[in-house]
Amino acid sequence: MPIFYGKASLMDYLKSIKTADSTIGFVPTMGALHQGHLALMKKSLLENNNTVVSIFVNPTQFNNLEDLAKYPRTLEEDVKKLDDLDPKIILYAPSVDDIYEGNVLSQHFDFDGLENQMEGKFRPGHFDGVGTIVKRLFEIVTPTNAYFGEKDFQQLQIVKRMVFKDKLGVIIVGCPIHREQNNLAMSSRNERLSEQEREEAAIIYKTLTAAKEKFTKQSSRKITEWVKSFIERNPRFTLEYFTIADETTLLSCTKKDKNKKYRAFIAVLVNNIRLIDTISLN
């Protein structure tokens, strides 16, 4: 499997394999690969001539240094998973210096307010970091199609907005959430949970499906109150936020409009590990 640690050699290689009508599919990741990542890659492999995967734990999108330090880094196992999936995958695993060239700072973005909701409220600067790295990776990889999971639905909407506003010419493909056997959304952070916490975290999806049931009958405020008490019955769990929001603007739903699409978004802290999930409501 071709592996590149520097952008110059990756760009030379991509140039050498490019033909007039070939396409590049791109799956950006921070590693600790799970079935959710592999599903994005399978889709990219089906839909493109070449697939590039990046593994890079991007420091500028972490507002919490402990979270950055504890983020799982499993490059050797990740390489094996990629090679088993398809040895034609092209891996880019850069160093911080290869990406930031000594200037580890985010660009500031205006995502038309999408960045101020939910994750943006609780992780200041997070989406500037995401915008910075995704844009830089797009410049290096020059993908035709780029694949993102719907678990990070706000990120997906923000990347789409950035591509539109900055005319980046990449097609953004959103892909469904992959779940563990107990329906916990797959995430690299799940590796940090104890076995008991991982089992108990099944409550997050249970809460979302119950909220979906309540959606037609109860107000958002009432559902939100119920979610908080339901989640926090377990003293190890703290609800960071639960929001019912318009899928396009990500603004909280105060009054339901039958012409709009709504989603519930949740972030829960389990022993200081942040887990997020989302569900479409109508």
Q: Are 207 and 231 in contact (CB under 8 A)?
A: yes
Tell whether residue 143 is a contact of ligand PAF (CB under 6 A): no
Rounded to a whole number of angstroms, the minimum distance from the CB of residue 241 to ligand PAF is 18
If the CB atoms of residues 134 and 268 are measured against ligand PAF, the closer one turns out to be 134
Q: Which residue in the list 37, 108, 126, 178 is annotated as catalytic?
A: 37
Tell whether residue 29 is a contact of ligand PAF (CB under 6 A): yes
Q: How many residues bind ligand PAF (CB under 6 A)?
A: 10
Q: Write the secondary structure of the chain as one string of H (helix), E (strand) and C (coil).
A: CCEECCHHHHHHHHHHHCCCCCCEEEEEECCCCCHHHHHHHHHHHHHCCEEEEEECCCHHHCCCHHHHHHCCCCHHHHHHHHHHHCCCCEEECCCHHHHHCCCCCCCCCCCCCHHHCCHHHHCCCHHHHHHHHHHHHHHHHCCCEEEEEHHHHHHHHHHHHHHHHCCCCCEEEEECCCECCCCCECCHHHHHCCHHHHHHCHHHHHHHHHHHHHHCCCCHHHHHHHHHHHHCCCCCEEEEEEEEEECCCCCECCCCCCCCCEEEEEEEEECCEEEEEEEECC
Rounded to a whole number of angstroms, the minimum distance from the CB of residue 86 to ligand PAF is 20
Please confirm, yes or no, whether 108 is among the known catalytic residues: no
Tell whether residue 133 is a contact of ligand PAF (CB under 6 A): yes
If the CB atoms of residues 92 and 242 are measured against ligand PAF, the closer one turns out to be 92
If the CB atoms of residues 33 and 245 are measured against ligand PAF, the closer one turns out to be 33
If the CB atoms of residues 144 and 155 are measured against ligand PAF, the closer one turns out to be 155
Tell whether residue 190 is a contact of ligand PAF (CB under 6 A): no
Tell whether residue 58 is a contact of ligand PAF (CB under 6 A): yes
Rounded to a whole number of angstroms, the minimum distance from the CB of residue 148 to ligand PAF is 7
Tell whether residue 30 is a contact of ligand PAF (CB under 6 A): yes
Rounded to a whole number of angstroms, the minimum distance from the CB of residue 55 to ligand PAF is 9
Rounded to a whole number of angstroms, the minimum distance from the CB of residue 229 to ligand PAF is 31
Catalytic annotation, residues: 37
Residues that bind ligand PAF (CB under 6 A): 28-30, 58, 61, 130, 133-134, 152, 155
